[in-house]
Amino acid sequence: MPEPTIVQIFGTGATRLASGATTPSAGLFIPDSALQTAGLATPGSASAEGHLAAINLNAQSYLTQTNFGTNTDQSIYIDKGFSSFTTRGSNNDSYRVDQLTINLAKLDTSSTIDPDNY
């Protein structure tokens, strides 16, 4: 199977931008609609952390352990972790902590994480 695509990981409408006259530098474009599909209600005013959470939730829908097991070109899978609770702040307010575990798999050639290997 081929490596997962930009759309499969980041959502419908996601694309790579090439540099040119109207786009000074290349990059990745993820439309607000893709983030809304992941549950981010107001991408235009959401926090950076909200954007990151939506990106990870979008990726989780395709980067499953099942797909990882059947597609040797897929190098990353995202699993739900265990929810827990913690207290924070001077009032010891109770916070729910939900985990997403991002697993990076590569041939065992070094002990560092290099994004170019995935």
Residue 21: pLDDT above 70?
A: no
Can you tell me the mean pLDDT for 13-30? Answer: 83
**For residue 115, is it within any domain?**
no
Residue 71 exposure: Cα atoms within 13 Å on the Cβ side: 17
Model-level pTM?
Answer: 0.84
What are the pLDDT digits (tens) for 54-97? 999 999 999 999 999 999 999 999 999 999 999 999 999 999 99
- Give the chain's mean pLDDT: 92
Range of the domain at 31: 6-109
**For residue 117, is it within any domain?**
no
The total number of structural domains that make up the chain = 1
The confidence band for 31, taking pLDDT boundaries of 50, 70 and 90, is very high
Q: Could you give the CA distance from residue 108 to residue 29 in angstroms, rounded to a whole number?
A: 32
- The reported pLDDT for the residue numbered 15 is 94
